[in-house]
Structure 1
Amino acid sequence: MVLLPTSAPANFSTTVMYGDQNQTNTLTCPHAELKSWHYTVLPPYYLVISVLGIILNVFVLGVFCFHKKACSVAEILLGNMAAADLILMAFIPFWAVYTAERYNWPFPHPLCAVVTLSITMNAYCSIYFLVLISIDRYVALVHPLSHDGIRRPRYAKVGCLLVWCFGLLLSVPALVYRKVTYDSRVNSSVCRIDYPNNTVYCLFSGMLIIFTFVIPISIISFCTFRIIQALNNRLAVGSNTRKTEHKATTLVLAVLLAFMICWVPFHLSRIVEMFLHAGMITNCTLITITNACGHISMNLAFFNSVLNPVLYIIVGKNFHQKVRDLFTRRSTSSRTSSTTWQMSRSVKTEQVSS
């Protein structure tokens, strides 16, 4: 599985090869002609979400970093996810230019691997930051007394460091196999995954599907179910959940829902794509639909990095308070500085007069 297209779409027949190296079968399917909107609409879309994603995630990180109070565990995790979204959005313009050039890689060849590594790594990190956020909310609401000791900021920071390292490890195939190769069919240099054979492709794809979809989704689903169950039980018995925990949980549930909507279609399309490369899908109509769904789901997944900070701003009540405190403090500081300057000027004027 790869985050970006394995190759450039083009107006030519696609040959799908499957089987082992000694017995290779081929299936040739005619591509539907690509319309010009693919090269005219997608680049502006990439640039718009990149600009919005950078601005919004910088704003979120600024609020978390410059607020006078120390960040809670949930805020540390959300801040790291915002950092992952920010880095992902910072590299999307490279893909916008690549698409505008009709999938002819215009940059130095090493950037093909670097850009892909940056995008895939931060996408995978975002998924596992959501896993940590889900576990934190699960512990806070389902086991608030017996496991409260593990909900400490230093543990959250260690967990974030491990996630960054794990995201880099999962992105190694993108660094090793993503290359710029000349494709005579489209007369262009294409930045694509170039696995030695389909066995290696299926091996890495299966591994990534397990570690970036099956395991995270299973953990997130379990934690979310238990969180909702715990909230319903407390409401049924009239228990007063701490307001801070309830507000944080509302934001987390909104972020999790956005993740499901934006990322699940992408991962499902990657699973179908793996079946295609394994030779389990031989219908040309299904292959064409799979190619189209792969591009659509990828663009939807990118939009999640813009949607997350919007949810912080709209749903995050604690985030609202941090923003108000931050701007109130800056406003008070500005007024104090202005008053001090005016008093200093008045004293100097009186000294000159005397």
Structure 2
Amino acid sequence: MILNMTGSPSPELSDTQNCNHTEAWEWVYFIQPVYMSIICILGVIGNALVLFVLCFMKGHCSVADIYLGNLAAADLLMMCCLPFWVITVIHKFNWFFGKPMCRLVNLIIGMNYYCSVLFLMLVCLDRYLVLASPMSMGMLRGATQAKTICGVIWIAGFMLSLPALLFRVVEFLPDIEAEACYLSYPHDVWRLRFNMIANVLGFLIPVPLVCYCSYHIIKVLSNKQVRKFSAVNTERKATVLVLTVLFVFILCWLPFQICMFLDTLYYFKVISGCSWIHGLDIGTQLSTYLGYTNSSLNPFLYVIVGKHFRQRAKRVFTHVLNCVSRGVFPAHRINSSVSPPESYWIVN
């Protein structure tokens, strides 16, 4: 599946090298639908609840809330697209939803990856500005600026995922005997370009920046004199969640990045042979599913690591249940009483 995020086994590789490994894909038809169905259900429920809590809670909305809310929205959109691929894999990669849906579904999936990494990068940068460079907070950290930046990221994610709109086709592939939805690049240079963009903009630039910010954040939090201030302790709780979400993101998407890099090496004929072709097909398939898992894990990280997010969610659902029991629709949002410190919200 050297075909960009989601798709059938790569026709280019199989035809070029005459490597027939169709039998090896039988396990995919059994395992993948079950696995993707599980992460889809968990991801839809989890991210929908996060957005519900964010939207229903009245009060101050921090910059980190805005970024993480957009991250949850991107994850929810992507999770809603997975059922199309579950049905497709069950029918051995036969696509029944037409070319427009083939392009739209994979456009959204591609946007999720780029938007996720950029939103997480912004959350980490936000923590860095709060803890390691507080003098820079005033000009760079505001709700209006954060919303504008999020809009730019959504547009950038769309532009970076344009190959799904331009080159996704639905055609019969003899190798897998299926009417498949896959990327048909007009030239291999396009595949190389996608791989390099995914590696550079989706990993090589954000990850070092995240590591730099994380290093200075941890350095500040480990300072005994700084830890005496209660405000810093509050920020520390927020930062623990942010760093946990970042670590899980890197863990989930690093294998996919490695497969993209290996595919680039294949393009330059640094590696070749049926074993590599087979390994890249299967490896990209598995690493893509692992990357999708990240979108279903984030909401549970908020609950597990975020003490104050649990409290916030409890207040929201308690209010909703009370309204339901009285037969009253909860038309208004919950007032969060006294305006708390900025980081006392979802990221805690």
Q: Same fold (TM over 0.5)?
A: yes
- Cα 1:337–1:206 change in 2 (3 A) is closer
- When residues 45 and 188 of structure 1 are mapped into structure 2, their CA distance, relative to the original with a 3 A threshold, is same
Check conservation: 2:4, 2:183, Cα contact below 8 A. Answer: no
- On the 8 A contact 1:3/1:298 being kept in 2, the answer is no
* Secondary structure at the counterpart of residue 33 of structure 2: helix
Deviation string for 1:133-155 (max 9, x for gaps)?
A: 01101101101134344221111
Matched, 1:225 2:215: yes
Question: How far off its partner does 1:264 sit?
Answer: 1.0
- CA separation of 1:144 and 1:188: change in aligned 2, threshold 3 A: same
Partner of 2:335: none
CA apart distance, 1:28: 3.6
1:156 aligned to which of 128, 146, 150: 146
> Would the aligned equivalents of 2:241 and 2:302 in 1 still touch at CA under 8 Å?
yes
Secondary structure of the 2:14 match is strand
Task: Tell me, yes or no, if structure 1 residue 60 matches structure 2 residue 50.
Answer: yes
Summarize the Cα distance change of 1:336–1:50 in structure 2 as closer, same or farther, 3 Å threshold: closer
Matched with 1:15 is: 15
Q: In structure 2, what is the Cα distance between the partners aligned to 1:83 and 1:186?
A: 35
Of 97, 100, 108, the match for 2:98: 108
Contact preservation (8 Å) 1:276, 1:282:
yes
How far apart are the structure 1 equivalents of 2:324 and 2:7? 53
Partner of 1:207: 197
Moved more, 185-194 or 62-71: 185-194
Tell me if structure 1 keeps the 8 A contact 2:252–2:293.
Answer: yes
Seen in structure 2, the aligned counterparts of structure 1 residues 175 and 336 have a Cα distance that, compared at 3 Å, is closer
- Counterpart of 2:85, as a letter, is W
Q: Secondary structure at the match of 1:281?
A: coil
| Structure 2 SS opposite 1:191 | strand
CA deviation string 1:126-177 (max 9, x = no partner): 1110011011011011011343442211111111111111100101111101
> Is the CA contact (8 Å cut-off) linking 1:182 and 1:190 kept in structure 2?
yes
* Cα separation, partners in 2 of 1:155 and 1:191, compared to 1, 3 Å: same
Tell whether the 8 Å contact from 2:6 to 2:106 is kept in structure 1 after alignment. no
Alignment match, 1:326:
316
Q: Deviations over 1:273-315 (max 9, x none)?
A: 1221332211332332222211111111011011000001111
Cross-structure match for 1:78: 68
Which structure is higher in RCO with an 8 Å CA cutoff and minimum separation 6? 2
1:170 to 1:323, Cα distance in 2 relative to 1, 3 A: same
> Aligned partners of 2:34 and 2:227: how far apart in 1?
51
User: 1:235 — aligned with what?
Assistant: 224
What corresponds to 1:312 in structure 2?
302
What's the offset of the Cα at 1:90?
A: 0.2
AA matched with 1:240: F
The alpha-carbon distance between structure 1 residues 308 and 329, as it changes in their structure 2 partners (threshold 3 A), is: same
Percent of residue pairs identical: 36
TM-score (norm: length of structure 2): 0.86
Deviations, residues 32-80 of structure 1 (Å, cap 9, x unaligned):
6225331122112212211111111110111111012222111111111
Change (3 A) 1:180 1:89: same
Q: CA RMSD in A?
A: 2.4
SS in 1 for 2:24: coil
Q: Deviations over 1:300-354 (max 9, x none)?
A: 101101100000111112212211332444466678889xxxxxxxxxxxxxxxx
Q: In the TM superposition, what is the alpha-carbon distance from 1:244 to its structure 2 partner?
A: 2.8
| Aligned mate of 2:277, from 281, 287, 297 | 287
Q: Which runs of 5 or more structure 2 residues have no equivalent in the other structure?
A: 329-348
* Structure 1 unaligned residues grouped into runs of 5+: 17-26, 339-354
> Any conservation in 2 of the 1:88–1:123 contact (CA below 8 Å)?
no
* Aligned position for 2:249: 259
Partner of 2:338: none
Measure the CA separation in 1 of the matches of 2:132 and 2:31: 46
